[in-house]
Structure 1
Amino acid sequence: MPRTRPGQIHLAAFMNAGPGGVGAWRHPDAESGWFSPAFYQKVGRILEAARFDFVFFADSLGIPRSFGNSIENHVHYGVGTPRLDPIPVIAQIAAVTEHLGVGATLSTGYQQPFNAARTFSSLDHLTSGRAGWNVVTSFQDAEALNFGNEKLPGRSERYQRADEFLEVTAKLWDSWQDGALKLDKASGDFADPAAVASINHQGAHFQVQGPLSLPRSPQGYPVIIQAGSSPDGRDFAARWADVIFCSHASIESAIAFYAEVKALAARHGRDPDHLKILPAVTPIVGRSEEDAEARKLEFEELVPAEAGLARLSYHIDVDLSQFDLDKPLPPLEVKGVYGHYHEVLEVAARENFTVRQLGKWYGARTEGDLVGTPAVIVDRMEEWFDRRAADGFMISPTHVPAAFEQFAEHVVPELQRRGLFRTEYEGATLRENLGVPRPASGEWKSRLR
C-alpha cells in the first residue's frame, strides 16, 4: 500500500488493574497475578521493548450494578471488578522502565484539583517526565452512591465541573515558574519566592488558594488523555487533551470523528497535530488468516452473552435486563459512555442484532477488525493512518500479557519494516515521544470558552 501521509504511528496499551475484559481471564494463555507488582512490571517491560509510547489504566470507583440493579453478574463474571487503584500500579511499572509512558485514570467527579495536581506532578517528577492522566468525569450511578450522592450529575454539569477542575490544576502546575528552584548551597538560596505564587481561585465548584507544594514538573503538565465522545466530551477533549482514546465500529465513523475533533482543536486555537487520536483496536495475530479466525472464535467462546450484556450495561449505564433480549435494542437515553453506545448502534444496525446477540458481540468484540497475519493487520493500520482515521492505536488485548507479547513479536517488526513505527525512542519524555510540545506557563488560558 503506497504511503500517502508522512509521519509515524503512535502505539499505546490499554489496561485494567485487574482481570481485564470479559473472558480475558479465562483464556488458556492468560496470567492471573493481578495483585502482584511482577504482573504489571512484566507487561511494562514487554511494551518498552516494543517501543510503545505509553500504557494507561482505566478505572472506576465502584462495582457496577447496571445490569438488573445488582452486582451479581458483574461479580460472577468479573465485569469491571476487581480493580486496584491504578496510581500505585503505574508507579510499579515506572520503577522498572526508562522510556515507557505511564498513565492512570482519575475522576474529576470525586476528587479535588489540589490532590490531582500534586499526584500527577509527583509522578511526572519521579518518572522524569513520563506521566499521563486519563481525565474522566465518571459515568455511572454506582460511583455516585459511594460518595454520598444518589445520582450521577447530568453530562453537561459533569463537564462544567471538569472544565473548572482542569483550569485549577493548570493554575497549580503553573504556580511555580520554570527555574524557581535555585539550590545554591553557597548562598543558601533554595528557591526564588518571587517565582512562586498563590492562585487564589474562586469558582463555581472550587475555591483553591495554592500554590502547589511542588515545582513545575519535567513535562510542565502530565500528558492529558481523554475519551469523551459526546458533544460535551468532544469539546472538552479538543480544549484540554493531548491524546484522545476512542472506539469506532467502522473506518468511516473514525474518519468523521477525527475530522470533527481536529477542527474543534483548531477553533480553540490549538495546532491539531498536537492532539493525537488513538482508536482502540484488539489485534488477533495468526500464522494465517484461518489461524487468526480460529483464535478469534476461541476467544468468543469464552464470553457468555450475559457477561457481555453486563459489560455493556455498565459502560452505557442503562439496565439492559429490562428489555426483551431476543428483540432489537430500542432507542436509549444513555448516561454513560456515549462513544460505546454510538458504536453499538452502528453494529446493531449493520448486523441486525438482537439485544442478546449484541451482548455476545460486545463482550468479545475485537475492535478495529485487526484479525489476521501481521501483514494484513499492518495493512489495515496503515489504511486507518493514511486516511486520517487515526494518529495511532490503543492496543486493547484479548488476554494479558500474551496478546501484548504476540503483537510485539509479530506486528511491531512489520510496522518498523514499513517505516511506520520507531525502532528507538526519540525523546526523553512522553510528550517528546508523542510529538506534543511542553506547554508554556499559562498556555491553558487560550483554550477557555
Structure 2
Amino acid sequence: MTTRQLHLNAFLMSTGHHEASWRLPESDPYAHVDLAHYVHLARIAERGTFDSLFLADGPQLWNNLAQRPAGALEPLTLLTALATATEHIGLIATASTSYNSPYNLARKFASLDIVSGGRAGWNIVTTAGAEAARNFGLAAEPAHAERYARAAEFLDVAQKLWDSWEDDAVVADKAAGVWGDDTKIHPPRHEGRYFSVAGALNVPRTPQGYPLLVQAGSSEDGKRFAARYAEAVFTAQQTIEDARAFYADLKSRTAEAGRDPGHIKVLPGIVPVIGSTEAEALAAERVLEDHIVYTHGVNRLENLLQLEPGTLELDGRLPDLPPESAIGGAQSCLLYTPEQVADAIETWFTQGAADGFNIMPAVLPSGLDAFVDHVVPILRARGLLRREYGPRRTLRERYGLPRPANQYVTPALARA
C-alpha cells in the first residue's frame, strides 16, 4: 500500500470526447448548453472523489456544425453555477492570455475562488490559430514565442493583482468605524512590454491566494512556461517510455527554475471505453466508429495532420506529415476493461510516468459513470485513491500544494 495518492481530473466535453458520441441513442445533442447535464457530470466526478473537473474553451467557434455539437457555455460562468451544486471538487477553466486582459481575468478567477470556497483552477493557454486572431481584429495569430512571452508577463501581472490585498487588509472594526487598512493594499503599478496595469484588484485575496495554475502543451516554449508557473500539467503520451521521459524532463526543468518538482503534477490523458470484458468494450468502440460520418472523419484527420482541406486521398499516396510531437494533443491512451484501466494507471503512477490522470470519457455521462462505478473501486482497493474527501479543503491542498505567500509581505511580517 502506497501513501502517495492519485490525482484525478475529469475533462468534460459535451456528450463525450468521441466525435460521434452525440449520435448514440443515450446522448442528448443539446447537452453542451444544458446546465443540468454539467451538474450531473460534476456530481458523478465528486462521487468518484476526483480532485477536479476541467472545461476546455477557445475564443472561436469549434467544429463544423454538421459534425458534432459546436459552441460552449463560457466556462467561468458555468463553473460558478457548478460551485453552488458541488461541495468538494475543484473547478478548472481554460482562458487565453492572448485574448484577455490581466485585470479582468484575474478578477474573474478570484471571484470564482471566493464563490467556490477555494476550488478554482486556471488552465492557461496562449491560443494558436488564425481564426481566433481574426475574431480580435488581427490579420494573423502572433508568433509562437511571442504568445508565450505575452503569457509570462500576463501571469506576472495576474499574480501581482491577486497579491494586491494582504490577507488581513479587511479589519471590519465596527466600533472604530474602520472597515479596512489601506496600508495593506499594494497596487501593482506595472509597466511592461505588453501590459500597463496601475491599480489593485477590486476583489480581496482569495482562499487559495490564487487559483491552481494548469498548463497543457509539450512544445519547448510550453515546457519552459510550465516549469516556471504550472502546478498541474495536462499532457498526452501513447507509451510509458514517452511518458516517463516527459515526466522526468518536466520535473528537472521545474527544479532548474528554482521550484520544488513535487509542486508540479503531471496528468496524462486517457480515453476509457469500458466494458465488462475487452470484447464488450471493443464492440462499444465499434459502435462509435460506425457512427462517424465518412467526410467528417477525413476532414478531422486532415486537420489533425495539419493538411490543407481536400489534400488527403485515402487510396492515394500519403502526403508529407508533421512530426509526431506536433500532433501530441490527439494521442491520449484508449483503454478497455476496468482492470486494464486500473493496471495501466497503477503502472504509470508507480513507475515515474504520472502523478495522476486526466480522464476523458468517450461518451458522457455513461463513460464517467462506468469509470467511477468500476475503476474507482479497484484503485481504492489498491490504496491509490482516497475513499472520501475528508475535511473540506481547497483545490490547492487536494493537489498537495502550499498556499502561495503574498509577494508584498515578508515572512517575518507574515508571522507577526
Provide the TM-score with structure 2 as the length reference.
0.92
- Distance in 2 (CA, whole Å) between partners of 1:130 and 1:387 is 29
1:12 to 9, 14, 20: 9
- Structure 1 residue 28, shift from structure 2 partner: 2.8
Sort the Cα spacing of 1:206 and 1:318 in 2 relative to 1 into closer, same or farther, 3 A.
Answer: farther
Alignment correspondent of 2:353: 389
Q: State whether structure 2 residue 36 is matched by structure 1 residue 38.
A: yes
Q: Deviations over 1:377-429 (max 9, x none)?
A: 10111011111111111010111111111111111011101101011114511
- Distance in 1 (CA, whole Å) between partners of 2:32 and 2:166 is 40
Alignment correspondent of 1:431: 396
Alignment correspondent of 2:106: 117
Out of 183-192 and 388-397, give the one that drifted further.
183-192
Q: Residues 90 and 104 of structure 1 are in contact (CA less than 8 Å); yes or no, is this contact kept in structure 2? A: yes
Q: What is the aligned residue count?
A: 405
2:108 counterpart letter in structure 1: T
Aligned residue runs from structure 1 range 200-349, under 5 A: 200-311=189-300, 318-325=307-314, 326-332=316-322, 341-342=327-328
1:191 to 165, 180, 191: 180
Alignment correspondent of 2:74: 85
- Distance in 2 (CA, whole Å) between partners of 1:58 and 1:156 is 22
Q: Residues 302 and 311 of structure 2 are in contact (CA less than 8 Å); yes or no, is this contact kept in structure 1? A: no
Alignment correspondent of 2:412: none
Q: State whether structure 2 residue 380 is matched by structure 1 residue 416.
A: yes
- Distance in 2 (CA, whole Å) between partners of 1:248 and 1:436 is 25
Alignment correspondent of 2:414: none
1:135 to 100, 124, 129: 124
Secondary structure, aligned partner of 2:357: strand
Alignment correspondent of 1:29: 26
Superposition CA RMSD, Å? 2.1
1:168 to 139, 142, 157: 157
- Distance in 1 (CA, whole Å) between partners of 2:336 and 2:233 is 23
- Structure 1 residue 239, shift from structure 2 partner: 0.9
Q: Residues 236 and 328 of structure 2 are in contact (CA less than 8 Å); yes or no, is this contact kept in structure 1? A: no
1:407 to 371, 374, 385: 371
- Structure 1 residue 305, shift from structure 2 partner: 4.8
**Structure 1 stretches lacking a partner, 5+ long:** 65-70, 344-361, 444-449
Alignment correspondent of 2:54: 56
Q: State whether structure 2 residue 84 is matched by structure 1 residue 99.
A: no
Provide the TM-score with structure 1 as the length reference.
0.85
Sort the Cα spacing of 1:317 and 1:225 in 2 relative to 1 into closer, same or farther, 3 A.
Answer: farther
Secondary structure, aligned partner of 1:282: strand
- Distance in 2 (CA, whole Å) between partners of 1:318 and 1:147 is 25
Secondary structure, aligned partner of 1:12: strand
- Structure 1 residue 314, shift from structure 2 partner: 5.0
Alignment correspondent of 1:447: none
- Distance in 2 (CA, whole Å) between partners of 1:206 and 1:311 is 37
1:31 counterpart letter in structure 2: D
Q: Residues 298 and 312 of structure 2 are in contact (CA less than 8 Å); yes or no, is this contact kept in structure 1? A: no
1:37 counterpart letter in structure 2: L
1:125 counterpart letter in structure 2: I
Q: Residues 40 and 92 of structure 1 are in contact (CA less than 8 Å); yes or no, is this contact kept in structure 2? A: no
Q: State whether structure 2 residue 122 is matched by structure 1 residue 158.
A: no
- Structure 1 residue 208, shift from structure 2 partner: 0.4
Alignment correspondent of 1:446: none
Alignment correspondent of 1:347: none
**Structure 2 stretches lacking a partner, 5+ long:** 409-416
Secondary structure, aligned partner of 1:76: coil
Q: State whether structure 2 residue 109 is matched by structure 1 residue 145.
A: no
- Distance in 2 (CA, whole Å) between partners of 1:148 and 1:91 is 29
Q: Residues 15 and 396 of structure 1 are in contact (CA less than 8 Å); yes or no, is this contact kept in structure 2? A: yes
Q: Residues 19 and 34 of structure 1 are in contact (CA less than 8 Å); yes or no, is this contact kept in structure 2? A: no
- Distance in 2 (CA, whole Å) between partners of 1:264 and 1:432 is 23
Secondary structure, aligned partner of 1:105: strand
Out of 310-319 and 146-155, give the one that drifted further.
310-319
Sort the Cα spacing of 1:318 and 1:230 in 2 relative to 1 into closer, same or farther, 3 A.
Answer: farther
Identical pairs, percent:
40
Sort the Cα spacing of 1:298 and 1:112 in 2 relative to 1 into closer, same or farther, 3 A.
Answer: same
- Distance in 1 (CA, whole Å) between partners of 2:284 and 2:73 is 29
Sort the Cα spacing of 1:16 and 1:342 in 2 relative to 1 into closer, same or farther, 3 A.
Answer: closer
Sort the Cα spacing of 1:308 and 1:179 in 2 relative to 1 into closer, same or farther, 3 A.
Answer: farther
Q: Residues 161 and 201 of structure 2 are in contact (CA less than 8 Å); yes or no, is this contact kept in structure 1? A: yes
Secondary structure, aligned partner of 1:46: helix
Q: Deviations over 1:67-115 (max 9, x none)?
A: xxxx7xx221027x22221111111211110101111111111100001
- Distance in 2 (CA, whole Å) between partners of 1:244 and 1:197 is 30
Secondary structure, aligned partner of 1:102: strand
- Structure 1 residue 256, shift from structure 2 partner: 0.9
- Distance in 1 (CA, whole Å) between partners of 2:336 and 2:16 is 22
2:340 to 364, 369, 376: 376
Q: Deviations over 1:248-300 (max 9, x none)?
A: 12221111111111111111111111111111101121111221222222222
Q: Residues 52 and 92 of structure 2 are in contact (CA less than 8 Å); yes or no, is this contact kept in structure 1? A: yes
- Distance in 2 (CA, whole Å) between partners of 1:318 and 1:193 is 57
Alignment correspondent of 1:76: 66
- Structure 1 residue 225, shift from structure 2 partner: 1.1
Out of 20-29 and 160-169, give the one that drifted further.
20-29
